[in-house]
Amino acid sequence: MAGFSEHNEHKYGVKGFIVTMTIWTPDLPEGGPRYRRIAEHMAEAIRRGELAPGEKLPPQRQLADRLGVTVGTITRAYTEAQRQGWVESRVGSGTYVRLPEDEDATVFRAGVPVEDGVIDMSMALPPPHPLRPQGLQRALRTIAESPLALQAATDYQPEAGTPAQRARIAAWQGELGLPDDPDRLLITQGGQHGIHLALRTLAQPGELVAGDALTYPGFICAAQQAHLRLAAVPMDEAGLDVDALARLCARHPPRVLYLTPDLNNPTGARLSEARRERLAALAREHDIWLVEDAVQYLPRERRGTPLVELAPERTLHLFSTSKVLAGGLRIGTLTAPERLQERLCSALRSQSWMAPPLMVEAACRWMEDPASRELLAWQVEEIAARRARALERLAAFGAQSGEGSSLIWLPLPAGRRSSEVQALLARRGLKVSTPEPFCVGSEPAPQAIRLCLGPPEDREALERALAIVDEVLSEPPSSPWQTL
C-alpha cells in the first residue's frame, strides 16, 4: 500500500458497530513540518478509503514511538486533522476518523429519507439490530483481505452466479427449510427482480396473470410494466378462494398465478393446506405457471407445504436476503424447473448480465457467518414479542396477524376510512399503509390499515406507535371536508 508501512485492525468495540483501531503508520516524505505531513497523509488515506469513518486512530504515544517523533508532533498532527474535519476526538476514548461535513449522511428507508421523530410502520422491513451492519462489515472485510475473492468480484461471472455461489446460497436456503437444489437456483438482484424475471419469461404481453385480490404491489407493478392483463382472485382468511379461481379458469385460465401462500401481504392470511392441494391440481389441469413468493420470511414451523413441493414442474419459487439479512444487498433467488433454466438465464443476461459478484460474495459470506443465525434467531423472537404486544394492545379494534408474521392488519370500524385514519396517524408522527396499493385491477379496497412491526427502533417506539393508533381509533371520525 503506497505510503503506508502497516494498516491493520486489532480491536473490536461496542455501541452497535465494530470499532476497529488501525495500526496506521504513514511513511513520511521529506519536506515541510512533520505534523502537517502526518495530517496530510491522514486526509489522503481517508479520501482513498484506507482509513474508514469510525476507525480509531492509534494512541498518540504509540504512533510517536513508531515514527520516531515527539508526542507533541502527533498531538499537533491530530489537532490539524481535526481542524480540517477529518477526525474527531472523543473525551476519554481517543481520536476517530469521521465523515467530512459535506458527506451526505442522511438515513434512507426504502428510498425515502427517515424523518426525525416519525415512526414509519409503512414498510415491511426487518427490525434494526447492530448485528446487521456488523455482519455486512465482517463479510466485506474478509473479501477485501482475499486477493482471490477480489479478483472474482472484478470479473464477469455466469448469469445465474458461479456454481460454488449457487451451492452456498442453496445450502443456506436448505438450513432455512427452503428450496436447496443449486442446479435449479438462479441468483437474482432481489425478490422484485425475481418477479420480473418470472413474469417476462412465462407470459407474453396481453396475456392474463392472476393474483390474490389484495397482494404485494411489486407484483402488480411488474405485471403492468410487462403489459400483462391482471385478474384479481377473491380471498378470505384461508387465502385465495380456489373455487373462485376454478370459475376464472373455466372462462379464461390465467397463464401465471402469483401467490404468497404463507403470508399474504397485506392481510397476513395463510393459504390452507386443503386449498394448496386443490390449487396444484387446478394448475395442472389448466396448465398454469405458479409463482410462489416466499420473500416475507416466516420460521419453518409457521409455513405450510410449499407449492414448489406440490407442483415442482410448474412452480417458480422466489426468495431473497431482504427480510432476513438486509434489503440493501439486493440479492435473491429464483428456483425454477429445469426446462426454464436457459430462458431465465437469457433474460437475466439481457437485463443486467448477472447480479453484482461482489454483492453475491458478500451475501454468501454473511450467510456463512454464525452471527447471521444469531441475528435471525433474535429477529424471530423479537417479531413474535412485538406481534403479541400489538395484538394485545389493539385487541379492542380487531387487529389480525398470521402466526410468525410481522404484519398487523387492522380492519377499521364502521364509519372510518383508511385515508382519513392514515392522515390522522401521520399528523401524530406515525406512518402506515392503506390497502389501495395492494388492490389488483379495479377491485374496491377494504377500509383497513397495515402496520409493519419491523421498523420501530425498539419496543418503546412500538409502544408509542400503538398508543397513537389507539388514540386515533378511539376518537370519532373526522372526515376533512375539502370539496364542493
CB of 89 to ligand PLP, least distance (A): 40
Query: In which residue are the cell numbers 381509533 written?
Result: 473
Q: Comparing C-alpha atoms, which of 55, 64, 57 is closest to residue 34? A: 64
Does 293 contact ligand PLP by CB under 6 A? yes
Query: In which residue are the cell numbers 364542493 written?
Result: 484
Under rule CB under 6 A, how many of the chain's residues touch ligand PLP? 15
CB of 295 to ligand PLP, least distance (A): 4
Does 372 contact ligand PLP by CB under 6 A? no
Query: In which residue are the cell numbers 504513514 written?
Result: 26
CB of 247 to ligand PLP, least distance (A): 25
Q: Hey, which bits of 352-469 come out as E strands?
A: 407-411, 430-431, 448-452
Q: 405 to 434, contacts with ligand PLP by CB under 6 A?
A: none
Does 295 contact ligand PLP by CB under 6 A? yes
Nearer to ligand PLP, 64 or 197 (CB): 197
Nearer to ligand PLP, 59 or 328 (CB): 328
CB of 334 to ligand PLP, least distance (A): 11
* Residue 45 neighbours by CB under 8 Å, 6+ apart: 3, 4, 24, 26, 51
Does 268 contact ligand PLP by CB under 6 A? no
Q: Do 166 and 174 contact (CB within 8 A), yes or no?
A: no
Does 322 contact ligand PLP by CB under 6 A? yes
Does 454 contact ligand PLP by CB under 6 A? no
Instruction: Name the segment binding ligand PLP (CB under 6 A); options: 97-105, 238-246, 288-296, 451-459.
Output: 288-296
CB of 216 to ligand PLP, least distance (A): 4
Q: Comparing C-alpha atoms, which of 357, 361, 330, 351 is closest to residue 155? A: 357
Distance CA(117)–CA(128), nearest Å, equals 16
The cell numbers describing 176, all together, are 432455512
* Residue 183 neighbours by CB under 8 Å, 6+ apart: 166, 338
Q: Comparing C-alpha atoms, which of 89, 71, 171, 76 is closest to residue 373? A: 171
Nearer to ligand PLP, 157 or 189 (CB): 189
Among 20, 73, 157, 320, binds ligand PLP (CB under 6 A): 320
Q: 185 to 204, contacts with ligand PLP by CB under 6 A?
A: 190-192
Q: Which amino acid is at 281?
A: A
Instruction: Name the segment binding ligand PLP (CB under 6 A); options: 45-53, 184-192, 339-347, 420-428.
Output: 184-192
Measured in degrees and rounded to the nearest 5, phi and psi for residue 241 equal -80, 105
Nearer to ligand PLP, 318 or 412 (CB): 318
Among 182, 218, 254, 306, binds ligand PLP (CB under 6 A): 218
Alpha helices per DSSP H over 232-369: 242-251, 273-285, 307-310, 341-352, 357-368
Instruction: Name the segment binding ligand PLP (CB under 6 A); options: 246-254, 277-285, 292-300, 353-361.
Output: 292-300
The distance in angstroms from the start CA to the end CA of the chain is 71
Does 296 contact ligand PLP by CB under 6 A? yes
Q: 119 to 178, contacts with ligand PLP by CB under 6 A?
A: 124
Q: Do 319 and 178 contact (CB within 8 A), yes or no?
A: yes
Among 20, 260, 335, 379, binds ligand PLP (CB under 6 A): 260
Q: Comparing C-alpha atoms, which of 466, 333, 319 is closest to residue 391? A: 466
CB of 183 to ligand PLP, least distance (A): 22
CB of 372 to ligand PLP, least distance (A): 16
Instruction: Name the segment binding ligand PLP (CB under 6 A); options: 42-50, 136-144, 320-328, 427-435.
Output: 320-328
Distance CA(377)–CA(366), nearest Å, equals 15
Q: Comparing C-alpha atoms, which of 254, 171, 240, 237 is closest to residue 212? A: 240
Does 327 contact ligand PLP by CB under 6 A? yes
How many C-beta atoms lie closer than 10 Å to residue 208's C-beta?
A: 18
Binding site for ligand PLP (CB under 6 A): 124, 190-192, 216, 218, 260, 265, 293, 295-296, 320, 322, 327, 332
